[in-house]
């Protein structure tokens, strides 16, 4: 169990710790779940956790909690019958509204929804949104966060039309003139981000064999690799966000002849196979918004360990991120091919 401070998780559970609410004996669903000592004060045998981000899901699993990927089944949500639904919503507004709607839909008559949002992440807006869906909402503030909880919910939805509309707010939808599908909440969900576009522009056309895409998102770079490199026979996509990975599968499965494999995986833990080439636009932050250049360095180390002798690693990164020392220490040759719009494209070749 993690011991690090998590003020938002602690605030989420304050109504139970302080006696405003009773911890129910029935089924409990935790949307956007995180583990931590505040959660461990309660009986968790009936708890099911949804967490789309693989590193956080692994923490929950190591703690012995029951973890499932995010659900996209409004019918199942309406039939769930949970006595309590806990929610840590994401920052993205449409995705957050859908999560609140799912929580209200899942709660059994007489059940409750409890939500917590940091003040800097839209707590006031979340309070208004939950009130629109569920009626009267109680509020408690602490640790620069706001916990909200509903009255016992009735059998009929407070605002059924709004509930149905919000259940669909983050549904997959066509983007880029219908070339791909994406959804709110994944990285650069409705566009090609500038870094990936720059790397796609400078990708070689002579990649072959077994290739990996680290941090594949909704599949744009993988698609570019396959379109430019017909000699690629297999491509493994590694992505920590389960929602993005599902989109990548929809975007690629019917388009290319290469063998495709999709891995909901924390790249910083290493890779399970060996590759002839690897491409990556690694994240430089985790689930929070603080810069995390160590994640990119871990991606570089994972690529170096997984490449076959002479294999090539194509990387795009923010120009200011200090990756060159790590690359020079792990690869035989490092070449910067492009710098534009604050990004750099680097090729690193493993020793033969």
Average pLDDT (125-142) is 97
Query: Mean of the pLDDT values across residues 187-191?
Result: 95
Q: What is the pLDDT of residues 81-116, one digit of tens each?
A: 999 999 999 999 999 999 999 999 999 999 999 999
Mean pLDDT of 209-214: 98
Enter the tokens of residue 277. Answer: 């080439």
> 78: burial class by Cβ within 10 Å (0-12, 13-18, 19+)?
middle
| pLDDT band (50, 70, 90) for residue 283 | confident
Q: What is the pLDDT of residue 286?
A: 54
Average pLDDT over residues 176-186: 96
> Residue 2's pLDDT is what?
57
Helix axes 160-167, 93-106, angle to 10 degrees: 120
Predicted pLDDT at 69? 84
Average pLDDT, the chain: 94
Per-residue pLDDT band at 78 (split at 50, 70, 90): confident
- Beta strand segments in 226-274, E: 232-239, 259-264
Q: What share of the chain is helix, strand, coil (3-state, %, to 5)?
A: 35, 30, 35
Closest to 84 (Cα-Cα) out of 130, 35, 16:
16
User: What's residue 40's pLDDT?
Assistant: 96
Q: Where are the domains of the chain?
A: 7-167, 173-349
pLDDT value at 274 more than 90: yes
The position carrying tokens 């002839």 is: 276
pLDDT at residue 75, as a whole number = 86
Is pLDDT of 247 > 90? yes
The reply to whether domains 7-167 and 173-349 share a CATH topology is yes
Q: What is the pTM of this model?
A: 0.93
Q: What is the mean pLDDT of residues 208-232?
A: 97
Does the pLDDT value for residue 41 go beyond 60?
yes
Contacts of 69 (CB under 8 A, 6+ apart): 50, 52, 242, 264
Residue 285: the pLDDT is: 57
How many Å apart are CA 214 and CA 237, to the nearest integer?
A: 6
pLDDT in tens, 320-336: 888 999 999 999 999 99
Phi-psi region of 310 (alpha: psi -120 to 50; beta: other; left: phi over 0): left
Could you tell me which residue, 82 or 157, shows the higher pLDDT?
Answer: 82
- H helical segments located in the chain: 7-12, 14-17, 54-62, 74-78, 93-106, 123-134, 160-167, 194-202, 220-228, 242-252, 293-306, 324-330
Helix, strand or coil for residue 21?
A: coil
* Helix ranges (DSSP H) in 54-159: 54-62, 74-78, 93-106, 123-134
CA atoms within 13 Å, Cβ hemisphere of 213: 29
Fold of 7-167: Rossmann fold (3.40.50)
Residue percentage of the chain with pLDDT more than 70: 97
Listed in sequence order, the DSSP H helices in 145-292 are 160-167, 194-202, 220-228, 242-252
Please tell me the class of the 173-349 domain.
Answer: alpha beta
Per-residue model confidence (pLDDT) at position 290? 58
Tell me phi and psi for residue 196, to 5 degrees. Answer: -65, -40
Contact 240, 53 (CB under 8 A): yes
């Amino acid at each position: 169990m993690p011991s690090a401070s998590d003020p938002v998780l602690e605030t989420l559970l304050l109504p139970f710790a302080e006696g405003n609410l009773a911890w129910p004996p029935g089924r409990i669903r935790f949307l956007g779940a995180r583990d931590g000592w505040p959660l461990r004060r309660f009986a968790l045998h009936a708890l099911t956790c949804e967490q789309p981000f693989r590193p956080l899901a692994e923490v929950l699993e190591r703690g012995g909690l029951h973890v499932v990927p995010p659900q996209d089944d409004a019918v199942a949500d309406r039939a769930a019958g949970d006595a309590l639904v806990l929610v840590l919503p994401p920052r993205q507004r449409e995705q957050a509204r859908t999560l609140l709607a799912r929580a209200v839909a899942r709660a059994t008559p007489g059940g409750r929804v409890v939500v917590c949002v940091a003040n800097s992440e839209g707590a006031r807006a979340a309070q208004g949104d939950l009130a629109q869906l569920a009626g009267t909402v109680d509020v408690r503030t602490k640790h620069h966060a706001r916990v909200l909880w509903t009255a016992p919910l009735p059998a009929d939805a407070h605002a059924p039309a709004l509930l149905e509309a919000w259940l669909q707010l983050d549904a997959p939808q066509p983007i880029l003139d219908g070339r791909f599908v994406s959804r709110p909440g994944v990285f650069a969900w409705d566009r090609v981000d500038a870094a990936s576009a720059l790397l796609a522009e400078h990708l070689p056309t002579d990649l072959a064999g077994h290739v990996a895409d680290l941090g594949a998102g909704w599949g744009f770079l993988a698609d570019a690799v396959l379109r430019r490199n017909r000699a690629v026979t297999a491509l493994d996509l590694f992505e920590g966000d389960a929602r993005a990975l599902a989109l990548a599968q929809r975007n690629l499965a019917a388009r290319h002849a290469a063998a495709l494999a999709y891995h909901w995986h924390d790249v910083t833990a290493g890779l399970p196979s060996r590759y002839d080439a690897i491409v990556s636009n690694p994240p430089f932050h985790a689930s929070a918004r603080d810069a995390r250049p160590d994640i990119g360095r871990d991606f570089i180390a994972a690529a170096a360990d997984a490449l076959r002798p002479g294999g090539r690693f194509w990387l795009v990164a923010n120009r200011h991120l200090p990756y060159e020392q790590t690359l020079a220490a792990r690869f035989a040759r490092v070449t910067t091919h492009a710098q534009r719009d604050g990004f750099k494209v680097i090729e690193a070749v493993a020793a033969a």
